[in-house]
């Protein structure tokens, strides 16, 4: 086996030194009745070349698309070549959590810089080394809000949150019988302020609102925060498309008390939904309630600046059942990808990419609306790089035609949101060219004329 440093001579030397005849003699701690009496019923060892061929065959069973207009929580963006090259360094990807700061300054300084950037993007003061993904970041944010709000037990959730985020929230809250989740309706594709006001009372700890929301719409987070604050509730902004931070004001600067969500868009592939990058940023006053690893700046014995894991008194290995969360492993290497992407992009690169996203999405929408079968939905509601449109033709057949032509269409919203039956959630990013959009329109026009 190519990964094992095994050879008859060396194995013998080790066993002799230990004083046993065969390795199996070392299993004396396992009672005989519990030992496996047969080999694993699995295929035998394979060479690197055989495994590569097998895995290539499996990968080829997935259909690849030249053109993609699907977002809905996983976005195809351009990633500079330097990102892959850098994270392939063994110093980054093989290292463990930086428990020994003297020999982990690389990871620690990177996390400190990453934390700085997440705070900059969100307009908040404290963040952690990452959470698993957008959905679980909502759970951690909501549970944290309940902790800091003491006796308040209700959390309001806008129906504009990604349906998967809402389901993850429900799974995470199911075991907390003292807590409840209450949905807030949408109007014109954004959180309904009337319904929100009606549901806000002294028992509400926090309100979660998409920014932009699942439909790609820009919520007026300021107005919603004012409503929440009026009843002493916290406003948690949930961003499933972090590229929007280059287009929209930082949530912390327009009233959000906490910001969480998904930052896979910075330097990652859609990779079937993982590994992605959950984030959570909070105000300084709440820093001792934040879950997960946090890196802080300090000095060594000789007064030189360095970085360490800090505020560990919140964490499971110290506090056990009174910890702020059970999280330990997070998404370290994915946070590194995001950090490299953001440093390459800088303020101009981020704003420029975001502006291209908005431009391509607006162009796509206006071209689609020129076709006979497409109807505007939530007209006038501002959006970033995604928007819903209703299709009046045979939606299934239309989507199939596009897929046959090598185009991955937007999401069929029918199974996800009741009010959006026969609607498609279209997404365009900087990687979609005008040519791709025109090609899409051509095919759709053809579909329309065949049916019409």
Partner 1 sequence: MNLRQREPLIFERSVPGKIGLDLPKLDVPPAKDTRPAHLRRTSFDALPSCSEPEVIRHFTKLSLWNYGMDQGMYPLGSCTMKHNPRLNEKVAGLPGFADSHPMADEALVQGNLALIHTLQEWLKEITGLAAVTLQPSAGAAGELTGVLLIRAYHVANGRKRTLILIPDSAHGTNPATAAMAGYEVVDVASGADGTVSFEDVTDPATGKVKKGLTSLIAEHHDEIAGLMVTNPNTLGIFEHRIDEICKAVHDVGGLVYMDGANMNALVGVARPGDFGIDVMHMNLHKTMSTPHGGGGPGAGPVACTKALEPFLPRPIVVRDTEKIGEGEVPKHTYRWDWDRPQSIGKVHTFFGNFGMLIRALTYCYSHGGDGLRTATLRAIVNANYIRKELMGVYHLPITSPTMHEVVFNDEFQAKNDVHTLDIAKRLIDYGFHPPTIYFPMVVHGALMIEPTESESKEELDAFVHAMKMIAKEAEENPDLLHQAPVTAPLRRMDETTAARKPVLRWQPA
**Binding to partner 1 in span 240-259, by CB under 8 A:** 245-250, 254
**Binding to partner 1 in span 384-413, by CB under 8 A:** 403, 408, 411
Is-contact 280 127, C-beta < 8 A? Answer: yes
How many Å apart are CA 407 and CA 69, to the nearest integer?
Answer: 8
Cβ at position 156, least distance to partner 1 in Å = 19
Q: Judged by CB, which is closer to partner 1: 203, or 270?
A: 270
How many Å apart are CA 293 and CA 400, to the nearest integer?
Answer: 45
All residues at 6 or more sequence positions from 103 whose CB lies less than 8 Å from its CB, including other chains: none
Among 147, 201, 285, 346, binds partner 1 (CB under 8 A): 346
If one asks whether residue 214 binds partner 1 (CB under 8 A), the answer comes out as no
Q: Is 361 helix (H, G, I), strand (E, B) or coil?
A: helix
If one asks whether residue 89 binds partner 1 (CB under 8 A), the answer comes out as yes
Cβ at position 373, least distance to partner 1 in Å = 20
Q: Judged by CB, which is closer to partner 1: 132, or 374?
A: 132
Which residues face 407 on adjacent strands? 67
If one asks whether residue 78 binds partner 1 (CB under 8 A), the answer comes out as yes
Among 8, 150, 272, 449, binds partner 1 (CB under 8 A): 272
If one asks whether residue 285 binds partner 1 (CB under 8 A), the answer comes out as no
**Binding to partner 1 in span 98-127, by CB under 8 A:** 98-107, 109-113, 115-117, 119-121, 125-127
**Binding to partner 1 in span 149-188, by CB under 8 A:** 162, 164-165, 167-168, 170-172, 174-177
Question: 10 Å Cβ neighbour count for 352?
Answer: 14
Residue 242 exposure: Cα atoms within 13 Å on the Cβ side: 29
Cβ at position 230, least distance to partner 1 in Å = 18
List, as own/partner pairs, every contact residues 372-379 make where C-beta atoms lie below 8 angstroms and the sequence separation is at least 24, other chains included: 372/448, 372/452, 373/398, 373/444, 373/447, 373/448, 373/451, 374/444, 377/189, 377/420, 377/423, 378/188, 378/189, 378/190, 378/215, 378/217
**Binding to partner 1 in span 9-68, by CB under 8 A:** 10-11, 13-15, 17-20, 23-24, 26-31, 33-36, 39-46, 48, 50-52, 54-56, 58-65, 68
């Amino acid at each position: 086996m190519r990964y094992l440093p095994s050879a008859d001579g060396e194995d013998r030397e080790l066993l002799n030194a230990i004083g046993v005849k065969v390795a199996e003699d070392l299993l004396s701690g396992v009672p005989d009745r519990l030992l496996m009496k047969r080999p694993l019923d699995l295929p035998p060892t394979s060479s690197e070349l055989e495994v590569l061929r097998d895995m290539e065959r499996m990968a080829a069973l997935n259909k690849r698309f030249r053109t993609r207009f699907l977002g809905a929580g996983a976005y195809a963006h351009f990633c500079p070549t330097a990102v892959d090259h850098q994270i392939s360094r063994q110093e980054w990807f093989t290292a463990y959590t930086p428990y020994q700061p003297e020999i982990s300054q690389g990871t620690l300084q990177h996390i400190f810089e990453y934390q700085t950037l997440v705070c900059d993007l969100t307009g908040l003061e404290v963040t952690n080394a990452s959470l698993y993904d957008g959905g679980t970041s909502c759970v951690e944010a909501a549970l944290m809000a309940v902790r800091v709000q003491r006796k308040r037990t209700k959390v309001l959730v806008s129906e504009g949150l990604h349906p998967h985020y809402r389901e993850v929230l429900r799974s995470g809250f199911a075991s907390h019988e003292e807590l409840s989740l209450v949905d807030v309706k949408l109007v014109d594709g954004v959180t309904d302020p009337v319904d929100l006001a009606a549901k806000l009372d002294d028992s509400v700890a926090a309100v979660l609102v998409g920014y932009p929301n699942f439909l790609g719409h820009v919520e007026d987070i300021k107005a919603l925060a004012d409503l929440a604050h009026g009843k002493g509730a916290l406003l948690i902004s949930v961003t499933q498309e972090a590229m929007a931070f280059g287009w929209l004001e930082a949530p912390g600067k327009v009233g959000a008390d906490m910001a969480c969500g998904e930052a896979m868009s910075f330097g990652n592939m859609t990779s079937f939904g993982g590994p992605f990058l959950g984030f959570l940023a909070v105000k300084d006053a709440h820093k001792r309630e934040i879950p997960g690893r946090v890196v802080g700046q300090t000095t060594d014995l000789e007064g030189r600046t360095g970085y360490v894991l800090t505020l560990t008194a919140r964490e499971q290995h110290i506090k056990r059942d009174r910890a702020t969360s059970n999280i330990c492993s997070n998404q370290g290497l994915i946070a590194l990808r995001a950090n490299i992407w953001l440093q390459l992009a800088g303020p101009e690169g981020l704003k420029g990419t975001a502006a291209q996203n908005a431009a391509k999405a607006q162009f796509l929408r206006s071209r689609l609306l020129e076709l006979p079968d497409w109807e505007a939905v939530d007209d006038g509601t501002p959006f970033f790089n995604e928007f819903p449109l209703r299709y009046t033709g045979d939606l299934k057949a239309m989507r199939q035609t596009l897929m046959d032509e090598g185009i991955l269409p937007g999401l069929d919203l029918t199974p996800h949101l009741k009010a959006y039956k026969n609607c498609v959630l279209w997404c365009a990013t900087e990687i979609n060219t005008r040519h791709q959009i025109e090609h899409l329109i051509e095919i759709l026009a053809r579909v329309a004329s065949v049916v019409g």
